[in-house]
Amino acid sequence: MKKDLLTLRDVTRDELENIFEVAAKLKRERGNSDYRPLAGKSIGLIFAKSSTRTRVSFEVGVGELGGRPLYLDQSKMQMGRGETVADTANVLSRYLHGIVIRTFAHSDVEELARVATIPVINALTDEFHPCQIIADMLTIKEYSGKLDKSIRVAFYGDGRSNIANSLVLAAKLTGFELVISSPEEVGYSKELAEDAPNIVWEKDPIKAADGVSYFYTDGWVSMGFETEREERMRIFRPYQINDKVYAAARPDAKFLHCLPAHRGEEVSASVMDNPQRSIVFDEAENRLHVHKALMSLLMG
Query: Among 34-42, 49-57, 271-279, 289-297, which window interacts with ligand CP (CB under 6 A)?
Result: 49-57
Indicate the burial class of 164 (C-beta count within 10 angstroms; 0-12, 13-18, 19 or more): buried
The CB-of-255 to ligand CP minimum distance in angstroms stands at: 15
162 belongs to the binding site for ligand CP (CB under 6 A) = no
Examine the residue annotation and report whether 129 is marked as an active-site residue of this protein: yes
Q: Is 257 a catalytic residue?
A: no
Q: Which helix (H) or strand (E) covers residue 43, if one does?
A: strand 42-47
Length of the chain: 300
Cα(217)–Cα(164) distance, rounded to whole angstroms? 9
Q: Which of 41, 53, 152, 292 is the binder for ligand CP (CB under 6 A)?
A: 53
Please give the Cα distance from 169 to 245 (Å, whole number).
25
Q: Which of 53, 55, 102, 106 is catalytic?
A: 102
- Taking CB under 6 A as the rule, does residue 132 contact ligand CP? yes
Which residue out of 129, 152, 277, 289 is catalytically annotated? 129
Strand intervals (E) in 74-160: 98-102, 120-122, 152-156
Range in contact with ligand CP (rule: CB under 6 A) among 7-15, 45-53, 87-95, 109-117: 45-53
How many whole angstroms separate alpha carbon 218 and alpha carbon 258?
Answer: 6
Q: Which is nearer to ligand CP, 209 or 294 (CB)?
A: 294
Annotated catalytic sites, by residue?
A: 102, 129, 132, 218, 258, 287
Q: What residues make contact with ligand CP under the rule CB under 6 A?
A: 51-54, 124, 132, 258-259
